Amino acid sequence: MINIHSKIFIAGHNGMLGSSILRILKKKGYKNLITIDRKKLDLTNQALVKKFFKIKKPHAVIIAAAKVGGIRANMDYPVSFINDNLQIQTNLITSSFENKVEKLILFGSSCIYPKNLKKPIKENQILTGVLEKTNESYSIAKIAGIKLIEAFNKQYKTNYICLMPCNLFGPNDNYDLKNSHFLPALIRKIFTASKKNKIVKLWGTGKPLREILYVDEVAEACEFFLKKKNYYSLINIGSSIEMSIKDYAYKIRDKIDPKVLIKFDNNFKLDGVKRKKLDTSLAKRNGWKAKMNFSKVLDKTIEDYINSQR
């Protein structure tokens, strides 16, 4: 089984999730962590990935690398979101199998579930309905990755798993307004408004409900499941925090500058799905549960963004 001496390759270690996993594993004493920058290894290049695996021979692989973005980016660049993610996942998963990797963890996203599920979403509800159009390409690519590891587990008895987190936030997030997710976008827009005219205009109606989770919680879940023999190919990773986007906006506003006036453009086409709440009972039965204090980690995240602007 995987331990602190195992060679572990973290794909995507410079991103928000990957950097958190790297930080948490180092903190816990893992000695042989393998990382490589995108400029030195193009994960969409099958030949280069195969060569890298033959040289490094990792015992475990964590796939935190992905082409990601918010609603606008998904709508504008569907080819990139489906093509890049399909290639990255397939190259890493097949190279892991060819090199007898003992444990593989792929990270998905709650957007892969059907859009009209109102109750907390269970893992077995994947592919039971229509996907949300605004991120369909990304969702299809991620579903393909999940089904690929499920197929390897079924056919070859591998120890691969997909952890499915809800909306993540935290240090090293992407604050680009064209590519970021909703919470970092809110932080940036409200902070900018606090320095200018004290008015911020936000996309959509603000009514959709979103579950969020601090990125270090997911890194802790990754380390927890890294050491376990899995009997499921897909496990949801979520929290107890679920509010409307409007409520998140006001909480962030109150922490940054209570004088900022918030207005929504009420364009319902930019709302996305109305609710994305995960059922995390399977994770709990396996021994994992989120522990985050939302107010404290939101403070840390806002501080991280403010420091990045200095």
48 to 40, 101, 251: CA distances (angstroms): 10, 17, 46
Q: Is 138 a catalytic residue?
A: yes
Give the Cα separation of 158 and 262 in Å (integer): 50
Q: Which of 30, 77, 113, 138 is catalytic?
A: 138
213 class by beta-carbon count within 10 Å (0-12 exposed, 13-18 middle, 19+ buried): buried
Residue 154 token pair: 């079924």
Residue 142 token pair: 């991620």
By residue count, the chain amounts to: 310
Supply the residues annotated as catalytic: 138
